[in-house]
Each structure stands twice: as C-alpha cells, then as structure tokens.
Structure 1
Amino acid sequence: MVLSDYTYVFVIGTFFAMLDAYNNGANDVANAWATSVSSRSISYRQAMVFGTIFEMLGAITVGARTADTIKNGIIPNSAFKGDANVQMLAFTCALAGASTWVMWCTRHSAHVSSTYSLISSVAGVGVATVGASKVQWGWNNGKGLGAIFAGLGMAPAISGGFAATIFMLIKVIVHMRKNSVPWAIYTAPFFFLIAGTICTLSIVYKGSPNLGLNKKPSWYVASVTMGTGAGVCLLSALFFVPFVYAKVIQKDHSVKWYHFLQGPLLFKRPAPAEADRANVPNYAVVQEDDQPEIETRSPSFSDSDDNNTKGADAIVSADSEKGAVVTETKQLTYKELVAQGEERFHARLRAKRGPLGWAMRLLHENPMAAGEIYEWHNMKILCKRIPAMIVVGALYGLHYDIHAAQTGIAGTPEGARMQRVYAAAEKYPNEVEHTYSFVQILTACTASFAHGANDIGNSVGPWAVIYSAWHTGNAAASKAPVPVWQLAVLSATISLGLITYGYNIMKVMGNKITYHSPSRGCSMEMGAAITVLLFSQYSLPVSTSMCITGATVGVGLCNGTFKAVNFQRVGLLMLSWVMTIPVAGTIGGVLMGIILNAPHFKS
C-alpha cells in the first residue's frame, strides 16, 4: 500500500534528506579533509578525489543497512501510535530543520556537526509531537540529550590529549634530534604501525556495523588489528623506507613514484652527481600572495559605490590660518582588502582555459545592469548568465585556492593575527615533514571510509523511515531496512557537497586555527580517530569533526605557548556548536508544530 495522498510529503522529505547529505559533505567531510589539505600532504583536488572514492566505498559496501527510527532514543517509538502520516511528517521536519541550520552555517563558513544538528532537530520535533515530558532529556544509556551535551564537552578535550601525546612522541623521537632526517625515515615503519592499527580499529568499531566485526571476540579483533598494523609496518619497511631514502637522503631527482616497487634495490641506486637538495614540496605556510598583481575592476562594487569611495578617499580640511588644503589617502577597509584578494583570484581563473575560465569571463563581461531584475535588458543578460552560473557553481570549488584563503589577507587584522600564530610555531625541515605526509594520507582515507560507513545513517536513516512509511502505509518498526540504492544516492550527494561547497569550511579550518604540517596533521587525525573509537565503546554520540578540532588545538599547544593557537577562531567554533542544539531543535519543532496543528478541512 502506498500513501498516494502523502506522496508530496515523501518528495519533500527526499529533498531535505539529499540536502542534509549535501550539507554533511560540505561541512563534516570538508572539515575532516581540511587537516590534510592544510598540511599540504595532499592537494585540494586530490582530497576531493580520495574523499569521494572512500566516502562512497564506505557507505555502499559496509554502511548501515538498518535505520533506528527513534533516532538515538530521543523520541519514544510509541509517540507515533502507528500513524505513518505523522511519522513521515516528523522526520521530514527534522531533516528540514537540520539541513536549514547546517546550510546557513556552511554559507557563513561556520563549522557545525550535522549529526548534532539532526539529533537536536529530532528532539524539537519530539517536543512538538508528544510534549517535552516524553523526550529523553537524560542519559538514556548514552543515547539521550544528556549524553549529547557530555560528548560536546568531553570529546574535543580528550581528542586534544591523544593528538598532543602522539605529536610529542614524534617530536621527541624525530624533531628534537640533531640530524632529524634519517630518524624520520628509519622510524617511519613504527608510525605506520600505529596508524595502521588505529585505522583498522576505526573500520572495525565505527565503519562496519553491517559486517559485525565489532561483535567478534576480543582476541579476534586484537589479532586482526595488530596483524594489519604489522603488515603495514612491514610493507613500509620494504618499500617506503628505500623509496624515501633515495628521494630524500640521496637527493635523487630522477626517482618516480612507481619506483617504490623496486624495494630494497633503491638503496643501491646511484644518485645524480649534481643533486644538491631533495625534491620534496615546500610545506611552509606563507601569507603573501606570490602571484603578480592584476589590474582589474571588481564587479562587486557598483558605480555608486565607486563614486562614494572616491569621495571618501580624499579628506579636505581647511586650515583657518593658512588656508592650506591637506589630502589624506584613506586606508582600505578589511572588506575592501578581501574583495581585492578575491578579485585577483578571479582574474587568474578568467585567464584559464576550459569551462570555468569561459564561465568566469562571461560573468565578468556581462554584469547585471541598473534597474530591477525584471527589466527587459536585465532579463536578457540573466539568460546569458544562467549557464555560466551553473558551470561556476559546479567547478568553482575544485579550483579554489584553499591555502591563500586559510592564511588570511596580508595587511588586515586577521592576517596580522595569523602571522603571530605562525611565528609561535616551530618549523621543521621539509625532508622530515615529507615522510609523514604519506602517513597522513593513510589516516585521512581511512577516516573518510569510516565516516562514509557510519555517518551516512544521519541522512539515510530518516529518509529510509519516510520511504518505508510511504511505501507500506504503516509506521516503520524500530528497525527499518535501508535499500542499497538509497545509500548510493546519498553517498553521491555527500561527495557532491564536498566537491562543490566544501571549500567554504576548509578555508576557515586548519591553518586558521594553528600552524599545520604533515607531522602535526597525522597526529591530529590519529588522535581524533582514537577518541571516536573510545566513545563508540560506551555508545556515546560523538562528532568526528569536533574531535579533529580538539586535536588541532592540542597539537597547536605542543608548541609550548598559547600564542600558537588562534583562540578567537576556536571560540567562534565552540559558539556554533553550542548554538546548534537550540537553533536546530527550534526550527524542527516549530515546523512540526505549525504543520501538525494547522487547520484542515474535509470535503
């Protein structure tokens, strides 16, 4: 039986489920990859590719096949009284409230947890449906709102402690050595062992509910995880160490990535005589824009703004005694400096070949004219702009300069603040950092796999309930089956959000909090993974994004001074976390209350 009269509710619920998944990719997944991109272990485009592959792989292959209809025990299942219509409406309003809040935050580069947003919205819907007395406000075996508040405070702090411990281990073993490069190379298998073990545990306990690996005996789990870690350690000793030895110590510029297959034979590979430095990337974070200045007029300013700016550029003061006229040049405001930096970036994009370059040039050459949008000349211009706007929306994120955006605009208060933060962080040789970039890629890919397998339930769970209620005509049971096609659709939507809009979160995470490098980045990711594993053992809700933020602060404090962390940015993040619960809950609850109690007429 299909509830044909309520098909519109199913359609609306599907839209908000996809919007919630899109926001999950643009916010949570982007934040998870921001550490690797900030550390320059991987380029922005490579992060998009790896993120898409491992998110979809985790979601489709080992993602949850059942969805808890009471969503972490916040709304009692009896609240719906077997009414499929109310159940569909409840989860549609919950998705609408969560996705609206997360999208607003993403648009304003404020990172929030999509998991906490959805849970809070469900709580608001529960209040509107059955009243505040029936909502689980307490601990409720780690699934109530009390556990949510506890995780909000504990997870970042514990994650920061684990990440700081791992980084201090690297610092003592490698960074504090007089000749740190050989120490970094020859101890790399040990850190691959740690990373491999942690990553395997992440898949076992967080990323494989369908495989049931977490139900196996303790000896089995220990054997699998330690065996996998030992295998990664052995492979790194056989193939990674010789490869990095030839590239870094012997400074062999002719070594290609596929030469790692030669293994120990690379120890005997003769280095070129003219080699003077290792061919490794520069991992330093810089403030200045190394691109040449481009004379352009920003289309973001109207003619009236130009006239006002010109009038304000000169301040004329009459001297009563001498009658002299003094002209003072006005300093550019922060917004004007940001607009100039953005326009320089857009000018470089317009100079590119390909669809994005064409679209950027078309938009630049065809600005909207004076008057309202419904004016005939503006409607003709809009018809030209719409195809270009679609192309820009799809491709702009792939070409965004994350590193330039993260470091702040030079000459602004933010730029000065970030310079002070970077100055307080010790810099390590690029040859040493290059070794840990490989470890960080391993941890980032595994974290993305586990995130796709576990967090896909945030969006697909309510959608599966809505679909089941609509398709069968009955309120979904405590466990509703999730078809594979729903996992595939929403995992693709998550990847789309990461690719097209993830830059809005990446540009404010990472280097906007503290100085990043590969050795710091891999410590942050491993510390966050350990925390998620610890909380999962006690069935406590925890946000991976909050953990990685706490780990970032913990590693930043390892520089030995509070000046190495931008606590202004951290404070804004914490404010957005706290505001998520009341705001998302209010949006979802108000929507549910209005629709559920709206007057309706029968013919």
Structure 2
Amino acid sequence: MAKPALDKDLKRVSGLEVATHDLARSLAGPGIALVFLLAAAVWASFVVADGPTSYLVVIAAVIAGYMALNVGANDVANNMGPAVGSKALTMLGALIIAGTFEAAGALLAGGDVVNTVARDLLIGEQLDGDTFVLVMMAALLASALWVNLATIIGAPVSTTHAVVGGVVGAGVASAGFGFIAWPIIGTIAASWVISPMLGGIFAAILLTIIRVTITNRIDMISAARVWVPILVALMTGIFAMYLATKGLKRIWKPDLPLVMLLGLSFAALGWIIAMPMVRRQSLTIENRKKHIAKLFRVPLIVAAALLSFAHGANDVANAVGPFAAIVTTIQTGHMESAGLALPLWVLFIGAVGIALGLALFGPRLIRKVGEQITKLNEIRAYCVALSAACTVLAASALGLPVSSTHIAVGAIFGVGFLREYIAQREMKGNAVPAQARFVDPAMLNATPEDALAKERQQARRRLVRRQHVLSIAAAWVITVPASAVLAALVFLGLNLVIG
C-alpha cells in the first residue's frame, strides 16, 4: 500500500513543479515589462531639468513606455504574421528580425509622423499648457489601456486608431468639439478606408503577376530563375530609396536624382546577389508549386524586415507622439505650433518599448494573423508583406499616420479573396470536381453533385474565414469610440487629481 501512496505523492510534487514553472513563465513577461517602465521613469527623471512640473514628465514617460509595449505586442503581429504563418521564419527568428528593424525604423525615421499625431490633431492655442499636458496624458493612457485589453482578448486592433481616438476624446472633454482639427481627422479617416483597400489591391495584383509569370507556367523553375531575382531587386531598391530620403535625413539629405540613382544601384545589387542564390536553390527542387514557393523565402524575409522598419518609423508616433508633446509643452510653457522637438531619448523609449513588447507579448497575435485568417505559403505571404511595406512606406514619407493593421490585414484579405475567386471560377467551369471524375462516386459516399457542393464548402472554409473578417472589422469600428470615451473619463479623473 505504501508504493501507490508514494506514486501519488510524486505525481503531486511533479504537478506542483509544472504549475510553478508555468506560473513563473507567465509572470516573467510582466516582470520584465515593469522593470522597463521603472527604467523609463528613472531615465526621464535624470534627463528633465528639475521644476514644479517635472514629475509629470516622469509619469508621462511611464505611460509612453506602457503604450510602446502594447504597440509591439499588438501591431507588430501584422508585420511578422505572414512570414511565421507560411513557415518561412520561426517565431524566434521573426522576433529577432522584427525587434531589430522596428527599433531602427523608430530611431531613424520616426520624426514626421510624430508631428502629425501630437501637434496637428489639436488646436493647441485654445488651451493653456497645463491643460494640454493633461489632454496628452489622458489620450496616451486611454489608448494604451484599450490596446492592452485588445491584446489580452486576441484582437489585432489599430494602435493608430486608439491613439487618435484618445486624443479626440480627451480634447473634447477638455475644451469641446472646437478644440479638434476636424479637417486633419477627416484626412486620417479617409486614409483608414483607402489604405486597406490599397493593401488588398496591391497584394492581389502582385499575386496575379506571380501566377502569370511563374506558377502558371509549364516550366516554373525556369520562370522563377528569371522573376524571383527581379522581385528581390524591387525590394532592395525601394528600401535603399526610403533609407536615403528618411532614415538618414539627420546626417544626409540627397536630392531626388541621387535618390533615384541609389535605388537603381541597390536594385541592381540585389539582382546580382539573388541570381546565383535562386539558381543554386532551383537545382534541388521539383517543378511543383510547393517547391517553387520555397524560392520566395529570402524575398519574404527581406520584405518582412522592410515592413518592420516602416512600421517602426510610422507607429512609434503612437507611443511617443503625445509624450513628445508633453515634454515640449512643459519645457517651453506652451504648445509649439512651428515644430515639435524630438529628443533622441524620447524616441529611444518608444523604440525599446516596441521591441520589448513584441518579444514578450507578441507571439500570440503573430500566430493569429499568420495562420487563422487564411492559409499562407511563402508566395502569398511575400505578396502580403511587400504590398503592405510599400503602402506603409508611402504613408510614412507623407507624414500620414495610417493604420498598419488595416494595410497588412487588408493585404491578407486581398490575397485570400483572390484565391477564393479563382477557385470558384475554376469550379464553375467543371461540372464535376476532379476527385469525382477519377474516383467512383460510391467510394465518396456521394453523388458527383454532392461532392461538388462539399468541395465548394471546403474551399470557402479553407481560403478565407468569414468570422475573422467580421470580428476584425468590428474591432476596427469600435476602437476609435471606445478609446475616445475612455480618454474623456481619464482626463476628467486626472483633472481632479492633478489639475
């Protein structure tokens, strides 16, 4: 009787060890995040000069770090989800690449969009400096809380939606509707509608081009040897031009002819590097679409890195835009209308926070975006990543805070719905599915008509999951009003406590 009792005790001890390990792992992320927020507070206390309102900068630094963590946890999933979902990258590899390029984009090219979010949304002259600081703090905290809630429930919402909604809600609560620069809001709202459509259209066009030039050819390997290096050259050229015009602008401002020359030069360099690489890989694959897709792994990784750089440049504004406005207002006593100071330490908090939030809390949403909306292989994921990168790069160059979530998810939907349209068109051209033509209907336990109906149902379920379309659209719609209401409540609370 002693032996069974001993076995039960050992099982209890083993179960306790497993539970303790799982608990420690679940607490590690929040613990590391808390250390980062404390470090941001200490850093801000040393950087900002002593004064009667310097404590507000410290509080705002913590809130900005908290928002940056949520941007990394939620928004970056749209960049790396396709690469992970297509198995081109492991989760660890995606986290390393995304963290590196997100931080680089935030530090090197984040300035223009910060100005739009922090300064242009509000008519600052209507408020005194202290009230404006409370508005920015309320907007930042409310948007961070909403994005955190969305991450917990697994909804890939737009952090740009959240921060703009927060600014609008806090602004209305402080000074009424006249405080909001509604023409700017209208421009941003229009971009939210246009950007997912453009992302979907570009991705569908790119996939169509690849189908025509490569995957629908009889000799797909020979076609891939020609076209895959061209696609690599396209990405390297775009990245070089963007880096020259945006990423290095603090130390170098080349004119347009030189930028074009750099783009062409790096495109040629990318083509030269890709040619032998693709040819060497093509010698070990079969003339099948599944094997041809493997040739797109390197272009997909390059596109994902490019998209992460663009996202860091564009969405760092969601974390440090209001924070930069707070720092400038406290230091000058009023909101600057001619320009917004962007200290490197402010951008650094945003960059580190985004990378850390991605590493600690990002994998769950990365899997959802990459695997649960539609089935992706390397080719389809490449189309999603490149089309999203081009759209985000153009928006960032214009200083327009578009939603990277809308662009990337719109591109995924574009690829999925194109494949669904092609599949349905092909099935309409066949009275009987391929399985029914070569397999006895009795073996399928169905008539050819039943088999065709079943095949159509499976194709729809396999290509685009409608429930995710509806749930994501609902999350997009509710984010702006929810964050606005929450920001208004937070502002009223801060006004009672601090004001």
Q: What's the TM-score, normalizing by structure 1?
A: 0.63
Q: Is the 8 A contact 2:86 2:378 kept in 1?
A: yes
How far apart are 1:491 and its partner, in Å?
1.2
Written as runs of structure 1 = structure 2, the 5 A alignment for 1:333-482 is: 429-470=289-330, 472=331, 474-478=333-337, 479-482=339-342
Match of 1:486 in 2: 346
Among 66, 81, 84, the alignment partner of 1:19 is 66
CA distance in structure 2 between the partners assigned to 1:155 and 1:3 by the alignment: 44
How far apart are 1:551 and its partner, in Å?
0.7
Alignment-mate amino acid for residue 245 of structure 1: S
How far apart are 1:576 and its partner, in Å?
0.8
Q: Is the 8 A contact 2:314 2:401 kept in 1?
A: no
CA distance in structure 2 between the partners assigned to 1:69 and 1:536 by the alignment: 11
CA distance in structure 2 between the partners assigned to 1:528 and 1:66 by the alignment: 17
Written as runs of structure 1 = structure 2, the 5 A alignment for 1:189-268 is: 189-203=229-243, 210=250, 217-237=255-275, 239-248=276-285
Alignment-mate amino acid for residue 106 of structure 1: T
| Local SS of the residue matching 1:481 | coil
Alignment-mate amino acid for residue 264 of structure 2: M
Pair 1:557–1:473, CA change in 2 (3 A): closer
Alignment-mate amino acid for residue 369 of structure 2: M
CA distance in structure 1 between the partners assigned to 2:404 and 2:242 by the alignment: 11
Among 468, 477, 482, the alignment partner of 1:583 is 482
Q: Is the 8 A contact 2:113 2:399 kept in 1?
A: no
How far apart are 1:586 and its partner, in Å?
1.2
Alignment-mate amino acid for residue 447 of structure 1: L
Alignment-mate amino acid for residue 144 of structure 2: S
How far apart are 1:597 and its partner, in Å?
5.5
Pair 1:135–1:577, CA change in 2 (3 A): same
How far apart are 1:499 and its partner, in Å?
0.8
How far apart are 1:581 and its partner, in Å?
0.9
Written as runs of structure 1 = structure 2, the 5 A alignment for 1:317-328 is: none
Alignment-mate amino acid for residue 197 of structure 1: G
CA distance in structure 2 between the partners assigned to 1:97 and 1:209 by the alignment: 33
Q: Is the 8 A contact 2:110 2:314 kept in 1?
A: yes
Alignment-mate amino acid for residue 576 of structure 1: A
Pair 1:209–1:89, CA change in 2 (3 A): farther
CA distance in structure 2 between the partners assigned to 1:160 and 1:204 by the alignment: 27
CA distance in structure 2 between the partners assigned to 1:65 and 1:528 by the alignment: 19
Match of 1:113 in 2: 158
CA distance in structure 1 between the partners assigned to 2:400 and 2:328 by the alignment: 27
Q: Is the 8 A contact 1:199 1:446 kept in 2?
A: yes
How far apart are 1:242 and its partner, in Å?
3.8
Alignment-mate amino acid for residue 147 of structure 1: T
CA distance in structure 1 between the partners assigned to 2:260 and 2:156 by the alignment: 35
CA distance in structure 2 between the partners assigned to 1:7 and 1:436 by the alignment: 52
Among 572, 581, 586, the alignment partner of 2:471 is 572
Alignment-mate amino acid for residue 387 of structure 2: G
How far apart are 1:197 and its partner, in Å?
2.8
| Local SS of the residue matching 2:217 | coil
Pair 1:456–1:533, CA change in 2 (3 A): closer
Q: Which digits, 9 at most, give the CA deviation of each residue in 1:114-154, with x for residues without a partner?
A: 1221111111111122211231223xxxxx11122212221
How far apart are 1:522 and its partner, in Å?
0.9
Q: Which digits, 9 at most, give the CA deviation of each residue in 1:194-242, with x for residues without a partner?
A: 22233334445665664675xx5443332222222122112212x3134
Match of 1:88 in 2: 133
Pair 1:61–1:136, CA change in 2 (3 A): closer
Q: Is the 8 A contact 1:127 1:589 kept in 2?
A: yes
Q: Is the 8 A contact 2:307 2:386 kept in 1?
A: no
CA distance in structure 2 between the partners assigned to 1:567 and 1:211 by the alignment: 48
Alignment-mate amino acid for residue 480 of structure 1: L
Pair 1:466–1:599, CA change in 2 (3 A): closer
Of the structure 1 ranges 537-546 and 108-117, higher mean CA displacement relative to structure 2 is found in 537-546
How far apart are 1:245 and its partner, in Å?
3.5
Q: Is the 8 A contact 2:117 2:321 kept in 1?
A: no
- Measured on the aligned residues, the alpha-carbon RMSD in Å equals 2.7
CA distance in structure 2 between the partners assigned to 1:537 and 1:447 by the alignment: 14
Among 187, 201, 206, the alignment partner of 1:161 is 201
CA distance in structure 2 between the partners assigned to 1:153 and 1:65 by the alignment: 21
CA distance in structure 1 between the partners assigned to 2:201 and 2:280 by the alignment: 33
Alignment-mate amino acid for residue 244 of structure 1: Q
Pair 1:11–1:76, CA change in 2 (3 A): same
CA distance in structure 2 between the partners assigned to 1:209 and 1:77 by the alignment: 28
Q: Is the 8 A contact 2:282 2:295 kept in 1?
A: no
Match of 1:511 in 2: 371
Match of 1:336 in 2: none
Pair 1:52–1:467, CA change in 2 (3 A): same
Q: Is the 8 A contact 1:118 1:584 kept in 2?
A: yes
CA distance in structure 2 between the partners assigned to 1:69 and 1:202 by the alignment: 19
Q: Is the 8 A contact 2:328 2:336 kept in 1?
A: no
Alignment-mate amino acid for residue 9 of structure 1: L
- 2:175 is aligned with 1:125: no
Pair 1:207–1:572, CA change in 2 (3 A): farther
Alignment-mate amino acid for residue 124 of structure 2: N
Higher relative contact order (CA closer than 8 Å, sequence separation 6+): 1
Among 103, 107, 114, the alignment partner of 1:60 is 107
How far apart are 1:92 and its partner, in Å?
1.0
Q: Is the 8 A contact 2:74 2:157 kept in 1?
A: yes
CA distance in structure 1 between the partners assigned to 2:187 and 2:161 by the alignment: 11
Alignment-mate amino acid for residue 162 of structure 1: F
Pair 1:599–1:149, CA change in 2 (3 A): closer
How far apart are 1:7 and its partner, in Å?
4.1
Q: Is the 8 A contact 1:112 1:577 kept in 2?
A: yes
Written as runs of structure 1 = structure 2, the 5 A alignment for 1:173-192 is: 173-192=213-232
How far apart are 1:480 and its partner, in Å?
3.2
Q: Which digits, 9 at most, give the CA deviation of each residue in 1:518-560, with x for residues without a partner?
A: 1111111111123234545665431122111111111112222
How far apart are 1:449 and its partner, in Å?
1.7
Q: Is the 8 A contact 1:152 1:542 kept in 2?
A: yes
Structure with greater proportional helix content: 2
Written as runs of structure 1 = structure 2, the 5 A alignment for 1:29-108 is: 29-64=76-111, 67-68=114-115, 71=118, 73-81=120-128, 83=129, 85-108=130-153
Pair 1:70–1:38, CA change in 2 (3 A): closer
Pair 1:573–1:72, CA change in 2 (3 A): farther
Figure out how many residues of one structure are paired with residues of the other and give that number. 412
| Local SS of the residue matching 1:68 | helix
